[in-house]
């Protein structure tokens, strides 16, 4: 068998050569997820800095072992990293990669991820769930296993379900109805966040989201675990629904699991499209992301430039309201050309409304300015430019 050697961060790993990235590869390794892994190293570095002790990490879907090996090698204060995979070849390759990188604090398991998390209850400070597809079947075990002050890291690659291309799988896996529109990727992350919170709440645990992003074919969330029935109940008040009008582009957030939602849009009378239940609260923590930004220069990352670019965008929008406006979608409705993004933002700010760019869409703006005002500003810019 032919092998490839991959250099990432401070490690070099060996993997069997493959034709294309798929679940059928001899040992799973996805080169396009390097940005994901670089961001993870930065996030876990910040979490370790804020912890009062060394941390133990579980990489529940190890594949080649690169994620767990990088955590152990690149993050100071990792007492133990456990890399798990059901694939016997992956386990064999991971053992070899651990030895070749001179590590002694990384253990390898060949277990079902749910079984590993259930039998190691309370032994991990960080659980990383990064499967091929949906993380939904494994969140319950992570919720049972993780203690207070632990960090849950979750990747979902089934974006076609979370973003509403296939509604039934989203309802089946996440217990939520998706919404296919211009901000469907944000809605998808909020559906995933809401699913995580509902699952953890069964164990009187709540989540405080530290950092999240939607990149290419996947979504990624990092959340701190808290404990206590009262705080969990309070946290669940952030569950709710997003109503969207496909005709006039109006949208509204309704909080609560059973809120009173009008059937029709109050602006134009069109029937609402409704998504949820989902998380309506914050999905970014500005202090945590700022700490990541300050930590990145000290890390050896191949994607450092893209990491910082993404983190700065997420930091900028960390206090913004849910959903965003795509200027191109608004302009299509108005039958006019799209004005410069920065000019639009500046005029909205001049009207006294906060406005932010968003990493979800390079044409998007997050603001609580009313839609008619945004439309008026767009038309004014285009008129003045003629």
Are the beta carbons of 225 and 139 closer than 8 angstroms? no
- 78-123 pLDDT per residue, tens: 999 999 999 999 999 999 999 999 999 999 999 999 999 999 999 9
The confidence band for 22, taking pLDDT boundaries of 50, 70 and 90, is low
Q: Where do the CATH 3.40.50.150 domains begin and end in the chain?
A: 3-316
- The Cα–Cα gap between 84 and 82 comes to 6
Are the beta carbons of 196 and 219 closer than 8 angstroms? no
Specify the fold of 3-316.
Rossmann fold (3.40.50)
The confidence band for 16, taking pLDDT boundaries of 50, 70 and 90, is confident
- 299 CB neighbour count, 10 Å cutoff: 17
- 307-320 pLDDT per residue, tens: 999 999 999 999 99
**pLDDT for residue 23:** 63
Q: Where do the CATH 3.30.56.70 domains begin and end in the chain?
A: 325-384
**pLDDT for residue 193:** 98
Terminal alpha carbon distance of the chain: 65
CATH number of 325-384: 3.30.56.70
State both tokens at 133.
């597809």
Torsion, CA 141, CA 145, CA 148, CA 149, rounded to 10:
-90
Q: Which residue in 328, 345, 324, 346 sits closest to 337, CA to CA?
A: 328
The confidence band for 386, taking pLDDT boundaries of 50, 70 and 90, is confident
- 23-66 pLDDT per residue, tens: 666 787 888 999 999 999 999 999 999 998 999 999 999 999 99
Please give the order of strands across the beta sheet that includes 218-227: 106-109, 78-84, 55-59, 126-129, 151-156, 218-227, 205-215
State both tokens at 378.
């767009």
State both tokens at 159.
């974006």
Beta bridge partners, 107, equal 82
- 268-319 pLDDT per residue, tens: 999 999 999 999 999 999 999 999 999 999 999 999 999 999 999 999 999 9
- 318-375 pLDDT per residue, tens: 999 999 999 999 999 999 999 999 999 999 999 999 999 999 999 999 999 999 999 9
- The Cα–Cα gap between 262 and 244 comes to 12
All residues at 6 or more sequence positions from 316 whose CB lies less than 8 Å from its CB, including other chains: 356, 357
Quick check: helix, strand or coil at residue 232?
Answer: helix
Beta bridge partners, 15, equal 4
DSSP string, 136-198: HHHHHHHHHHPPTT-EEEEEE--HHHHTTSSHHHHHHHHSSB---STTHHHHHHHHHHHHHHH
Torsions phi, psi for 274 (to 5 deg): -120, 135
Half-sphere exposure of 217 (CA within 13 A, CB side): 11
All residues at 6 or more sequence positions from 374 whose CB lies less than 8 Å from its CB, including other chains: 325, 330, 344, 348, 365, 367
What global pTM score does this model have? 0.96
Q: What share of the chain is helix, strand, coil (3-state, %, to 5)?
A: 40, 25, 35
Cα–Cα distance list, 210 to 207, 222, 224, 287, 303 (Å)? 9, 6, 7, 9, 21
- What is the number of H-type helices and E-type strands within the chain? 14, 15
């Amino acid at each position: 068998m032919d092998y490839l050697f991959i250099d990432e961060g401070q490690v070099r790993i060996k993997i069997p050569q493959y034709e294309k990235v798929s679940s059928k590869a001899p040992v799973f390794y996805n080169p396009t997820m390097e940005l994901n892994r670089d961001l993870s190293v930065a996030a876990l570095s910040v979490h370790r800095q804020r912890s009062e002790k060394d941390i133990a990490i579980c990489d529940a879907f190890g594949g080649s072992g690169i994620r767990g090996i990088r955590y152990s090698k690149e993050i100071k204060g990792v007492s133990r990293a456990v890399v798990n995979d059901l694939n016997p070849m992956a386990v064999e390759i991971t053992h070899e990669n651990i030895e070749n990188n001179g590590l002694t604090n990384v253990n390898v398991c060949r277990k079902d991820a749910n079984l590993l998390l259930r039998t190691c209850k309370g032994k991990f400070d960080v659980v990383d769930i990064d499967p091929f597809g949906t993380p939904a079947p494994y969140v319950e075990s992570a919720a049972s296993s993780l203690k207070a002050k632990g960090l849950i890291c979750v990747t979902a690659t089934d974006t076609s379900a979370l973003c509403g291309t296939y509604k039934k799988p989203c309802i089946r896996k996440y217990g939520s109805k998706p919404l296919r529109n211009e901000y469907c990727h944000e809605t998808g992350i909020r559906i995933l966040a809401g699913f995580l919170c509902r699952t953890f709440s069964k164990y009187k645990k709540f989540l405080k989201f530290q950092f999240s992003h939607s990149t290419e074919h996947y979504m990624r969330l990092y959340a701190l675990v808290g404990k206590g029935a009262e705080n969990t109940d309070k946290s669940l008040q952030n569950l709710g629904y997003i109503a969207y009008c496909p005709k006039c582009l109006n949208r509204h957030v309704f909080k609560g699991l059973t809120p009173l939602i009008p059937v029709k849009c109050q602006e134009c009378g069109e029937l609402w499209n409704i998504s949820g239940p989902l998380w309506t609260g914050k999905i970014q923590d500005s202090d945590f992301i700022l700490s990541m930004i300050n930590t990145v220069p000290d890390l050896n990352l191949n994607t450092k430039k893209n990491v910082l670019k993404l983190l700065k965008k997420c930091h900028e929008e960390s206090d913004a309201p849910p959903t965003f406006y795509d200027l191109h979608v608004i302009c299509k409705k108005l039958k006019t050309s799209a004005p410069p993004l920065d000019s639009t933002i500046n005029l909205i700010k001049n009207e006294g409304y906060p406005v932010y760019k968003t990493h979800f869409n390079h044409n998007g703006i997050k603001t609580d300015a009313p839609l008619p005002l945004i439309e008026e500003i767009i038309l004014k810019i285009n008129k003045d430019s003629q």
